[in-house]
Amino acid sequence: MPDILTSAYGLDADLPDVLKRILADKVEEVRQRSGAKSQSAIESAAANAPRPRDFVGALCERISEGRIGLIAEIKKASPSGGVIREPFEPAALARAYEAGGAACLSVLTDAPWFQGAAEHLVAARAACKLPVLRKDFLISPWQVFESRAMGADCILLILAALSDDQARELEAIARSLDMAVLAEVHDERELERALGLETRLIGVNNRNLRTLVTDIATTERLAPLVPPDRLPVAESGLRTAADVHRMAEAGARCILVGEHLLREVDVEAAARAMVEAA
Ligand SMILES: O=C(O)c1ccccc1NCC(=O)[C@H](O)[C@H](O)COP(=O)(O)O
């Protein structure tokens, strides 16, 4: 792995605390994984992956029907929530979310902090027809090819973790592979930077990745600043019908929900309740 990653995420980097620790682990992980599989091998695996599903189209379809576009998340654990679901069955969750009316899935593949794995994404996608976001911390072109090789239809780019040049480079590779991009922001400055990208999908994360404090007023502040040609997605901390109403009122008719759904026994009913809330 090029040393540029180490310098970009080194001790002097001005990065939020938890995010900084996650990224330090990620640099090492990518170094190891890309050492085990060459760039040409990962590109060939990406070329042989199942055809991409239309992530943005699935969300737009729900919105055009006057419904909420729900991206339902599959994750076993998180830094803020600890272990969230046990036993954890990605394929069963994917089927339940689809039956409950979700438009898309989000699957955590980061191992150290979320107990995720590529196999979770592969199993979830194979169990349903929904487009799937690979939820991970992408810092290198190699990971974008790896995402497509897993079958991902969309990747996450966290603006707080990337320079503008890096974000543009990773977005261009994703687009060349027919994957969508969810550009994630947490403040006005990051939103401005995200609007320099081509993607329509602007994720407003209500969770501060430095402190893990979550405040859904973040979407109420930022979603009205998103131009009409983009699609704001409210992420994190959404639990009730009232929360979904607040997000829709702020202009976010797409929502990404994880922990609330995953802590329910009947995840299908929980997903349906979120979809029917607005
Ligand atoms: O969830 C965390 O604790 C976390 C910590 C550090 C970086 C990212 C983190 N979460 C990723 C997410 O954005 C959420 O998984 C996603 O928005 C769903 O949030 P929720 O509905 O609150 O599970």
Closest residue CA from atom 17 of ligand 1 = 236
**Residue 205 domain boundaries:** 4-275
34 lines ligand 1 (CB under 6 A): no
Query: Which of 76, 113, 157, 207 for mutating ligand 1's site (highest number of atoms within 8 Å of CB)?
Result: 207
ipTM at complex level? 0.98
pLDDT on residue 211: 87
What pLDDT is attached to residue 39? 95
- Take atom 7 of ligand 1 and give the residue whose Cα is closest: 209
- pLDDT at site 6: 39
- Ligand 1 mean position, distance from CA 214 (Å): 9
82: left (phi over 0), alpha (psi -120 to 50) or beta: left
Size (the chain), residues: 278
How much is the pLDDT for 114?
A: 97
Q: Tokens 């430095």, residue?
A: 210
pLDDT in the model for residue 218? 98
pLDDT in 10s for each residue of the chain, 278 residues: 333 333 443 333 444 589 999 999 999 999 999 999 999 999 999 999 999 999 999 999 999 999 999 999 999 999 999 999 999 999 999 999 999 999 999 999 999 999 999 999 999 999 999 999 999 999 999 999 999 999 999 999 999 999 999 999 999 999 999 999 999 999 999 999 999 999 999 999 999 998 899 999 999 999 999 999 999 999 999 999 999 999 999 999 999 999 999 999 999 999 999 999 97
> Which pair of tokens denotes residue 268?
């299908």
Q: Which residue has the tokens 């540029």?
A: 4
pLDDT at position 5 is 39
| pLDDT (0 to 100) of residue 210 | 84
Tell me, using a 6 A CB cutoff, whether residue 259 lines ligand 1. Answer: yes
The answer to whether the CB of 100 falls within 8 A of the CB of 72 is yes
The residue to mutate among 15, 76, 78, having the most atoms of ligand 1 within 8 angstroms of its beta carbon, is 78
Q: Is the CB of 257 under 6 A from ligand 1?
A: yes
Domain CATH number, residue 27: 3.20.20.70
Cα of 235 from ligand 1 centre, angstroms: 8
The set of residues, in sequence order, having a beta carbon less than 8 Å from that of 119 and lying 6+ positions away, is 90
CA torsion sign for 7, 12, 13, 19 is positive
How many domains does the chain contain in total? Answer: 1
* pLDDT given at position 8: 40
Three-class SS of the chain: CCCHHHHHCCCCCCCCHHHHHHHHHHHHHHHHHHHHCCHHHHHHHHHCCCCCCCHHHHHHHHHHCCCCEEEEEECCEECCCEECCCCCCHHHHHHHHHHCCCCEEEEECCHHHHCCCHHHHHHHHHCCCCCEEEECCCCCHHHHHHHHHHCCCEEEEEHHHCCHHHHHHHHHHHHHCCCEEEEEECCHHHHHHHCCCCCCEEEEECECCCCCCECCHHHHHHHHHCCCCCEEEEECCCCCHHHHHHHHHCCCCEEEECHHHHCCCCHHHHHHHHHCCC
Q: What is the pLDDT of residue 226?
A: 98
